[in-house]
């Protein structure tokens, strides 16, 4: 039976939850305190870029199953299931800031007019669900299991593929305490059960840790292959052949073995630090999580250092004065406008501090980046950003960069230094048109690596 659902907080996770749960047949109210955001969503415009999101947004608005409001109290009172999807930004010590979660919990407590299932979908440290449960119970004078239930339902959305991930997840994790709450959540996600999506029913603490464990493990794979790429550069090995061979081992798999300038975004850096902070809280040494974070921060520094070396300069203040550097890609990954923790933020700061002028292009993220770096000059295309540049750096794996006309690029540029931070281009082709080219983990061996049964790498 379809449920009446309020999604409290309509940022990235909340918007996907609102449109997705409505598309499953539930009646959803998206509630947020930002009136501009609510006005845009009510008009069918997504304030964030995510492929496919506006199609689902408008379809469910038209069906009447979805609406948006700034009145959180009304949304709570009218609903049976309340999804908390507010942000949990990092604190200085790496822990998660639960201010917004606590504020929403208090609003729920003031408007608990009937039995409701409160679902925390925000990424929160272990113990948060019980903390919220007790906070609501105390503030409302309510009894958990009778007047309301608390459920942990972490999200596993990849930016750029979030719509696909919501409707076709690898699994749905639900931490719960009562059979009544389990039955409600089964109805909420009935559409996924029909599709035979695996459900993981577990305790609140287990669900909380599944989220952090998953993201930190994936971050570990990225940090590891980046360090291997750095070693490959030093010894003249080919990281592509190494990664492909590793991925053939079923215990390892090829996913996330793609070297680059370091990982960014709203999840991996924050969740890795939060897991380390949880370890400190409970007296457990999470040394791997700490090392992954440190390795990734060091990796973000390498692209600028590599560029300066190829230019025969340093990154000291003023050392790149008079040079124009083109930067292609500002988002932390392709198919998103999200620049949070993007490696491009580190690179651009390095270049500006060293006195360079930066010419940048990104298909979607330039407006967000401009709020951080108004002094950068932004262009409408890759060739325009490269025109007159002394060097060019690729920082994001947008598909359009894979097909760059290197001869045209060389003609447009003043210099011939090309740093391919995502290994999108053919090194031989780049060098053939006169570029001094460096990728990531692409040493200078005698020959190119191949794996039998595959194309040359």
| pLDDT value of position 443 | 82
Output the six-digit token pair for 57. 């947004």
Least trusted range by pLDDT, from 96-100, 343-347, 451-455: 451-455
Q: Which residues of 338-366 are buried (b: 16+ CB within 10 A; e: fewer)?
A: bbbbbbbbbbbebbbebbbbbbbbbbbbb
- The DSSP secondary-structure symbol of 51 reads T
In contact, 340 and 314? CB cutoff 8 Å: no
- Angle formed by the axes of helices 99-110 and 128-140, nearest 10°: 30
Bridge-based pairing of strands 148-152 and 81-84 is unpaired
The whole-number pLDDT of residue 412 equals: 96
User: Residue 349: what pLDDT?
Assistant: 98
**Mean pLDDT confidence for 67-71:** 98
Supply the pLDDT for residue 457.
Answer: 39
Structure-token pair, residue 292 = 């992954």
pLDDT number for residue 446 = 47
Question: Measured between alpha carbons, how far is 341 from 269 in angstroms, rounded to an integer?
Answer: 7
- Give me the sheet containing 199-202, strands edge to edge: 66-69, 27-31, 4-8, 81-84, 116-120, 148-152, 172-175, 199-202
The whole-number pLDDT of residue 453 equals 54
Per-residue model confidence (pLDDT) at position 195: 83
Q: Active-site residues: which are they?
A: 267
Q: For 107-129, what is each residue's pLDDT tens digit?
A: 999 999 999 999 999 999 999 99
Q: Report residue 394 as tokens.
A: 């690729």
Mind listing the pLDDT tens digit for each residue in 268-305? 999 999 999 999 999 999 999 999 999 999 999 999 99
Of 159, 182, 158, nearest to 170 by C-alpha is 158
Answer whether 394's CB lies under 8 Å from 422's CB. Answer: yes
pLDDT on residue 452: 54
Ordered domains of the chain (ranges, CATH): 4-202 (3.40.50.720), 217-438 (3.40.50.720)
Whether the CA torsion 287, 291, 292, 297 is positive or negative: it is: positive
* Cα distance between the two ends of the chain: 52
Separation of alpha carbons 54 and 41, rounded Å: 9
Structure tokens at 186: 């089964």
For 364, the token pair is 């979607």
Rg (C-alpha) for the chain, rounded Å, is: 24
Residue 78 has pLDDT above 70, yes or no: yes
Q: What is the mean pLDDT of residues 392-416?
A: 97
Kindly report, residue by residue over 137-162, the tens digit of the pLDDT. Answer: 999 999 999 999 999 999 999 999 99
What pLDDT shows up at residue 35? Answer: 97
- Residue 376: other Cβ atoms inside 10 A: 18
Average pLDDT value for the chain: 95
Rounded to whole angstroms, the Cα distance separating 351 from 304 reads 7
Q: What is the pLDDT of residues 215-268, one digit of tens each?
A: 999 999 999 999 999 999 999 999 999 999 999 999 999 999 999 999 999 899
Q: What is the pLDDT of residues 180-201, one digit of tens each?
A: 999 999 999 999 988 889 999 9
């Amino acid at each position: 039976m379809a449920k009446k659902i309020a999604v409290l907080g309509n940022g990235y996770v909340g918007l996907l939850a609102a449109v997705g749960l409505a598309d499953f047949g539930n009646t959803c109210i998206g509630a947020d305190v930002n009136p501009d955001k609510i006005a845009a969503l009510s008009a069918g415009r997504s304030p964030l870029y995510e492929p496919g999101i506006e199609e689902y947004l408008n379809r469910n608005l038209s069906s009447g199953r979805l609406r948006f409001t700034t009145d959180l109290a009304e949304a709570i009172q009218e609903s049976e299931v309340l999804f908390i999807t507010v942000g949990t930004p990092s604190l200085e010590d790496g822990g998660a800031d639960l201010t917004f979660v606590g504020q929403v919990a208090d609003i729920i407590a003031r408007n608990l007019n009937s039995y409701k299932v409160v679902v925390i979908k925000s990424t929160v440290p272990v113990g948060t669900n019980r903390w919220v449960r007790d906070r609501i119970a105390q503030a409302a004078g309510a009894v958990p299991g009778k007047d309301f239930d608390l459920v942990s339902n972490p999200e596993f959305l990849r930016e750029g593929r979030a719509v696909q991930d919501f409707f076709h997840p690898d699994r749905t994790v639900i931490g719960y305490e009562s059979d009544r709450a389990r039955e409600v959540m089964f109805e909420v996600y009935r559409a996924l059960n029909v599709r035979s999506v695996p459900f993981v029913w577990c305790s609140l603490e287990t669900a909380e840790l599944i989220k952090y464990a998953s993201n930190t493990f994936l971050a570990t794979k990225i940090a590891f292959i980046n360090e291997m790429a750095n070693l490959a550069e030093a010894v003249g090995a080919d990281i592509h052949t190494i990664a492909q061979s590793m991925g053939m081992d079923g215990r390892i798999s090829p996913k996330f073995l793609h070297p680059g300038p370091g990982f960014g975004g709203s999840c991996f850096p924050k969740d890795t630090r939060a897991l380390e902070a949880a370890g400190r809280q409970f007296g457990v040494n999470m040394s791997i999580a700490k090392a992954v974070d440190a390795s990734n921060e060091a990796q973000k520094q390498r692209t600028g250092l590599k560029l300066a070396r190829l230019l025969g300069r340093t990154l000291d203040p003023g050392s790149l004065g008079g040079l124009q550097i083109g930067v292609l890609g500002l988002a932390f990954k392709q198919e998103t406008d999200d620049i949070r923790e993007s490696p491009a933020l580190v690179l651009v700061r390095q270049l500006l501090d060293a006195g360079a002028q930066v010419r940048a292009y990104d298909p979607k993220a330039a407006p967000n980046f401009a709020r951080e770096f108004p002094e950068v000059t932004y262009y409408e295309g890759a060739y325009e950003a490269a025109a007159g540049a002394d060097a060019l750096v690729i920082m994001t794996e947008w598909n359009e960069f894979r097909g760059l006309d290197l001869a045209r690029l060389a003609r447009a540029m003043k210099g011939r230094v090309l740093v391919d931070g995502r290994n999108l281009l053919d090194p031989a082709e780049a060098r053939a048109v006169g570029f001094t080219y460096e990728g990531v983990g692409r040493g200078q061996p005698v020959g190119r690596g191949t794996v039998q049964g595959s194309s040359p790498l």
